[in-house]
């Protein structure tokens, strides 16, 4: 089997020639995002929307709406499902004089699956990248490394770990090694966006995006019939629920603890009305360990800012509840909030990744007389 990372060897050789290397034990070790990246991003993208009091649907004014499951055989609402994945590995530190930078390689990807009339799910499109990351300002030869990666083909990318993108610096701080997994997830989100905006969908073929909607909704102005579905969401919002005597104020835990199975909350305005947000309970609480389990957050774009018909919100929610019937129980710790086609999209991405064993065998610092490896 050919080394899938052979194209990175010239760049690794250059790094070793120009500086001293402190390699990671075992050549490569996976770095994970801490804390949960999806929840942090959802909290970040909500911004100042921590007190949600404006309802943005009509005519419903009830805090909870009970629903009947809408099965695919009755109306096939969702056709495309999009998800991404990222895995980041620490290769070691490069030391040049008094400065140091960690070196990471990330595998990132996105995939969209399409569901046919008979329920069969196939991969519609997928894209994968291998990203070499380091602090470009910590070394004098970053431009040369970037040039070598640029020659390796479109699958390979160089990225500055410390480059500002509007999210990573707010989710992971300034320490280069802790930023790398978050940076990889940010780059993955860009792949998801590029793929999602170019899918050849027909009218009525809804697209389900895994995660909260991106911060730049206006890049999607030519895209219709899509929404974001979040399994791990911010716990910070406070809600003003409609009702007698001015309604009731509830935190997220209180809101969801009172949400019955096969029901949704009322829909709230977010991002100055450009997004409509509500929660749907997919599973009964009696089978779960925690009130927030079995619930998903839905974000529907609403650039016009007008009230969304309750009938549309009901239809989306009813179809989501029906999607719970097949589940990756035992295969994913978030099984209680998964809808199976999104899980299949995630697996399609991961199936395109090189295994950890192959990665560790294929990513080794070149052993030559030049340069130095500190062991």
Q: Where are the domains of the chain?
A: 6-364
> How many other C-beta atoms are found inside a 10 Å radius of the C-beta of residue 8?
22
Judged against a pLDDT cut of 80, whether residue 303 lies above it is answered with yes
Distance CA 322, CA 345 (A): 18
Q: What is the pLDDT of residue 25?
A: 57
Q: What is the pLDDT of residue 94?
A: 93
Of the CA atoms within 13 Å of residue 74, those in its CB half-sphere come to 8
Cβ neighbourhood burial of 199 (10 Å; 0-12, 13-18, 19+): middle
Q: What is the pLDDT of residue 313?
A: 98
Within 8 A by CB and 6+ apart from 139, the residues are 15, 18, 19, 94, 96, 99, 101
42, 66, 125, 282 from 253: Cα distances, Å: 16, 19, 38, 16
Tell me which of 219 and 191 has the higher pLDDT: 191
Coarse DSSP helix, strand, coil percentages of the chain, rounded to the nearest 5 percent: 30, 30, 40
Q: What is the pLDDT of residue 375?
A: 44
Q: What is the pLDDT of residue 104?
A: 95
Q: What is the pLDDT of residue 50?
A: 79
pLDDT band at 26 (very low <50, low <70, confident <90, very high): low
> Which pTM value belongs to this model?
0.89
- Could you give the percent of the chain with pLDDT greater than 90? 61
Distance CA 230, CA 214 (A): 12
Q: Which residues pair with 80 in a beta bridge?
A: 114, 207
- Could you give the percent of the chain with pLDDT greater than 70? 93
4, 8, 131 from 150: Cα distances, Å: 16, 10, 11
Distance CA 353, CA 87 (A): 9
Helix, strand or coil, per DSSP, at residue 86? strand
Distance CA 133, CA 46 (A): 28
pLDDT tens column, 47-77 = 667 788 899 999 999 999 999 999 999 999 9
Judged against a pLDDT cut of 70, whether residue 155 lies above it is answered with yes
Find the mean pLDDT for residues 356-360: 88
The token duo for 353 is 């990744």
Which residue spans within the chain are E strands per DSSP?
20-23, 29-31, 51-52, 57-58, 64-66, 78-96, 99-115, 121-134, 156-160, 206-210, 226-230, 238-241, 248-251, 263-265, 268-270, 275-281, 295-301, 308-309, 372-373
Q: What is the pLDDT of residue 32?
A: 64
Tell me which of 43 and 202 has the higher pLDDT: 202
Find the mean pLDDT for residues 289-301: 88
* Total count of residues recorded for the chain: 375
pLDDT band at 249 (very low <50, low <70, confident <90, very high): very high
> How many other C-beta atoms are found inside a 10 Å radius of the C-beta of residue 28?
23
pLDDT band at 370 (very low <50, low <70, confident <90, very high): very low
Judged against a pLDDT cut of 90, whether residue 235 lies above it is answered with no
pLDDT tens column, 94-127 = 999 899 999 999 999 999 999 999 999 999 999 9
> How many other C-beta atoms are found inside a 10 Å radius of the C-beta of residue 103?
30
**Mean residue pLDDT across the chain:** 88
Are the beta carbons of 171 and 44 closer than 8 angstroms? yes
Q: What is the pLDDT of residue 371?
A: 47
Find the mean pLDDT for residues 334-354: 90
pLDDT band at 148 (very low <50, low <70, confident <90, very high): very high
pLDDT band at 247 (very low <50, low <70, confident <90, very high): confident
Name the DSSP class of 202.
P
Find the mean pLDDT for residues 319-339: 82
């Amino acid at each position: 089997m050919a080394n899938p990372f052979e194209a990175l060897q010239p760049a690794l050789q250059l790094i070793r020639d120009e500086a001293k290397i402190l390699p990671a034990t075992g050549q490569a070790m996976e770095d994970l995002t801490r804390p949960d990246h999806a929840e942090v991003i959802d909290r970040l993208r909500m911004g100042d929307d921590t007190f949600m009091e404006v309802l943005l649907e009509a005519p419903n004014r009830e805090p909870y709406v009970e629903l009947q499951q809408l099965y695919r055989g009755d109306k096939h609402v969702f056709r495309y499902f999009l998800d991404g994945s990222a895995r980041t590995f620490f290769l070691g530190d490069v030391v040049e004089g008094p400065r140091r930078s960690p070196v990471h390689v990330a595998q990132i990807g996105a995939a969209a699956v399409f569901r046919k009339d008979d329920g069969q799910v196939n991969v519609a499109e997928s894209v994968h990248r291998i990203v070499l990351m380091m602090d470009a300002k910590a070394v004098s030869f970053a431009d040369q490394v970037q040039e070598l990666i640029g020659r390796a083909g479109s699958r390979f990318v160089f990225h500055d770990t410390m480059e500002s993108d509007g999210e990573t610096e707010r989710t992971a701080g300034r320490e280069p090694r802790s930023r790398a997994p978050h940076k990889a997830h940010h780059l993955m989100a860009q792949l998801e966006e590029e793929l999602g905006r170019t899918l050849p969908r027909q009218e009525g073929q809804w697209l389900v995006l895994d995660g909260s909607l991106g911060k730049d909704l206006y890049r999607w102005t030519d895209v219709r019939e899509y929404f974001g579905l979040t399994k791990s969401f911010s716990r910070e919002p406070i809600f003003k629920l409609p009702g007698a005597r001015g309604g009731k104020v509830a935190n997220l835990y209180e809101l969801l603890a009172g949400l019955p199975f096969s029901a949704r909350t009322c829909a709230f305005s977010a991002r100055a009305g450009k997004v409509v947000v509500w929660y749907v309970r997919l599973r009964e609480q009696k089978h779960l360990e925690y009130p927030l389990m079995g619930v998903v957050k839905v974000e529907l774009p609403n650039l016009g800012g007008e009230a969304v018909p309750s009938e549309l919100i009901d239809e989306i929610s009813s179809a989501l509840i029906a999607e719970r019937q097949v589940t990756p129980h035992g295969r994913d710790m978030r099984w209680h909030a998964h809808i199976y086609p999104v899980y299949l999209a995630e697996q399609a991405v991961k199936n395109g990744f090189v295994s950890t064993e192959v990665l560790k065998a294929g990513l080794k610092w070149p052993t030559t007389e030049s340069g130095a490896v500190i062991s």
